[in-house]
């Protein structure tokens, strides 16, 4: 039975600029709903125990809104960025609904990248510590047979990237006859990466009567179309304004000539205490160059981009998470799905071409309960791009001039 809280929030209908709102209930998760605990949301004891182990005290806004709705079986669109607690907002109710049922594949989560796949798997494992729920990540670039064996045994939750999952579906390694819930994670990025045909072929093979949860940071027309096609009377839960940057992040723009960016980076990283820094570059070769220059300056850094093997990427991520590497240098594709708690700084070595990418990147810092800094290095050629970002996020980003580096000085 849905909790009284779920009924209360369902009554609030708010108009937001989503063009197909006729068929939807839209909730504004910014509204205060009192001091809600995880127990108030209707989650079962094994989940409350796991949350206690994780040290989470209160649900985040998206969790407050999404969990009771997902528990009640509704279809849901969650408009939220990484860092808002969105992963738990679907993995918690998913594990709750799996408790006590038969052992067969009942949940499928589709994600755009391997990293996000592993992050969702980790989250399911974390919340099912006290519950007999099995999960398997399925993605390309790693051995096929172990996945085949596990899938054939009928694991409860499959978390997959579309390409590798289709391989398994074509070979009939996986049976979705009893699938109850489909989750589309970072739907905007899946479409950006050209996964629409694969998504269609996968969804054709899962039961029509199911619960579908779609999460996306942005709501372009392509995602709207996807939602119309696959969801039934969904409730939209939106955290914060669309395209708004995480409020706990302090932004700054550093004007610097293009050819001095490396020097500025070394200067900043050696001058002050930067524990765990994620640097974004536009190109793979740029990422490698930054790693080389930092290493020469004695700063431990690793690169994460598409030219690195799966093993190298996982190793770099591990070393970064464990603190062995202070700096991880990534390109845009690699950054999706990176969930690393405790990032203290995000540095945009190049200004992102798309304002949405700026919002995504800085979503890596300023995590659920902490604050972080986001620096953007801006050469004279990139002033226009920064202005576009400022218009999109609705705020001016303060300029910080480092003597000797600013192109104006």
Residue 59 near ligand AMP by CB under 6 A: yes
Rounded CA gap, 360 and 249, in Å? 12
Q: How far is CA 377 from CA 16, 258, 284, 298, in A?
A: 34, 9, 17, 21
Residue 122 near ligand AMP by CB under 6 A: no
- The count of residues interacting with ligand AMP (CB under 6 A) is 16
Could you tell me which stretch among 40-48, 56-64, 185-193, 237-245 binds ligand AMP (CB under 6 A)?
56-64
Smallest separation (angstroms) from ligand AMP to the CB of 178: 27
Residue among 86, 61, 115, 83 at smallest CA distance from 372: 83
Q: Which CB, 265 or 362, lies closer to ligand AMP? A: 362
CB-CB contact of 48 with 71 (8 Å): no
Q: Which of 64, 74, 86, 114 binds ligand AMP (CB under 6 A)?
A: 86
Q: How many CB atoms are closer than 10 A to CB 262?
A: 20
Residue 128 near ligand AMP by CB under 6 A: no
Residue among 71, 307, 43 at smallest CA distance from 181: 71
Q: Which CB, 59 or 234, lies closer to ligand AMP? A: 59
Tokens in use for 110?
């589709």
Could you tell me which stretch among 58-66, 173-181, 304-312, 322-330 binds ligand AMP (CB under 6 A)?
58-66
Residue 29 near ligand AMP by CB under 6 A: no
Could you tell me which stretch among 21-29, 82-90, 183-191, 220-228 binds ligand AMP (CB under 6 A)?
82-90
Alpha helices in 258-331 (DSSP H): 261-271, 284-296, 310-322
Q: Which CB, 88 or 206, lies closer to ligand AMP? A: 88
Q: In sequence order, which residues have a C-beta less than 8 Å from that of residue 286 and are 6 or more positions away?
A: 331, 349, 350
Question: Which residues are bridge partners to 238 per DSSP?
Answer: 28, 79
Q: In sequence order, which residues have a C-beta less than 8 Å from that of residue 102 and are 6 or more positions away?
A: 178
Smallest separation (angstroms) from ligand AMP to the CB of 228: 25
Residue 84 near ligand AMP by CB under 6 A: yes
Residue 48 near ligand AMP by CB under 6 A: no
Q: Which CB, 29 or 198, lies closer to ligand AMP? A: 29
Smallest separation (angstroms) from ligand AMP to the CB of 336: 11
CA 209 to chain centre: 27
Could you tell me which stretch among 2-10, 84-92, 152-160, 225-233 binds ligand AMP (CB under 6 A)?
84-92
The edge-to-edge listing of strands for the beta sheet with 345-348 is 249-255, 372-378, 345-348, 277-280, 327-330, 301-304
- By CB under 6 A, the residues from 223 to 252 that bind ligand AMP are none
Q: Which CB, 86 or 251, lies closer to ligand AMP? A: 86
Q: Which CB, 368 or 400, lies closer to ligand AMP? A: 368
Task: Measure the CA angle with vertex 262, ends 404 and 257; round to 5°.
Answer: 50
- By CB under 6 A, the residues from 358 to 377 that bind ligand AMP are 367-369
Rounded CA gap, 1 and 3, in Å? 6
- By CB under 6 A, the residues from 379 to 398 that bind ligand AMP are none
Residue 33 near ligand AMP by CB under 6 A: no
Q: Which CB, 8 or 369, lies closer to ligand AMP? A: 369
Could you tell me which stretch among 54-62, 144-152, 291-299, 313-321 binds ligand AMP (CB under 6 A)?
54-62
Residue among 67, 60, 52 at smallest CA distance from 84: 60
Tokens in use for 283?
């190109």
Strand segments (E) across 104-170: 107-110, 135-138, 157-160
Q: Which of 56, 193, 274, 300 binds ligand AMP (CB under 6 A)?
A: 56
The contact set with ligand AMP (CB under 6 A) reads 56, 59-60, 63, 82-88, 339, 341, 367-369
């Amino acid at each position: 039975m849905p909790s009284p809280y779920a009924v209360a929030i369902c009554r609030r209908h708010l108009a937001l600029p989503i063009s197909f709102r006729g068929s939807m209930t839209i909730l504004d998760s910014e509204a205060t709903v009192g001091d809600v605990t995880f127990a108030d949301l209707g989650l079962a004891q094994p989940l409350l125990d796991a949350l206690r182990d994780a040290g989470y005290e209160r649900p985040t806004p998206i969790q407050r809104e999404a969990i009771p709705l997902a528990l009640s079986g509704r279809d849901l669109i969650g408009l939220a960025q990484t860092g808002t607690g969105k992963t738990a907002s679907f993995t918690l109710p998913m594990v709750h609904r799996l408790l006590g049922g038969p052992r067969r594949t009942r949940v499928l989560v589709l994600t755009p990248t391997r990293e996000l796949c592993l992050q969702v798997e980790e989250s399911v494992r974390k919340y099912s510590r006290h519950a007999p729920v099995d999960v398997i990540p399925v993605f390309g670039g790693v051995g096929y047979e172990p996945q085949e064996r596990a899938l054939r045994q009928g694991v409860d939750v499959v978390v997959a990237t579309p390409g590798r999952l289709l391989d398994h579906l074509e070979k009939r390694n996986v049976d979705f006859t009893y699938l109850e819930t489909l989750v589309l994670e970072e739907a905007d990025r899946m479409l950006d990466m050209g996964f629409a045909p694969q998504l269609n072929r996968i969804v054709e093979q899962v039961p029509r009567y199911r619960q579908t949860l779609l999460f996306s940071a942005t709501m372009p027309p392509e995602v709207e179309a996807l939602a119309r096609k696959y969801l039934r009377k969904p409730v939209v839960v939106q955290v914060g304004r669309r395209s708004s940057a995480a409020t706990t992040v302090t932004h700054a723009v550093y004007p610097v000539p293009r050819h001095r960016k490396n020097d500025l980076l070394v200067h900043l990283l050696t001058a002050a205490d930067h524990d765990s820094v994620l640097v974004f570059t536009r190109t793979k070769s740029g990422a490698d160059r930054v790693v080389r220059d930092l290493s020469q300056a004695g700063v431990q850094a690793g690169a994460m981009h598409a030219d690195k093997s799966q093993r190298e990427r996982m190793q770099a991520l591990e070393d970064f998470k464990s603190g062995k590497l202070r700096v991880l240098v990534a390109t845009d594709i690699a950054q999706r799905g990176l969930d690393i708690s405790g990032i203290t700084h995000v540095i945009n070595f190049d200004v992102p071409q798309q304002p949405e990418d700026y919002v995504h990147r800085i979503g890596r810092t300023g995590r659920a309960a902490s604050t972080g800094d986001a620096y953007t290095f801006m050469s004279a050629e990139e002033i226009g791009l920064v202005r576009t970002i400022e218009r999109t996020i609705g705020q001016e980003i303060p300029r910080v001039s480092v003597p000797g580096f600013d192109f104006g000085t």
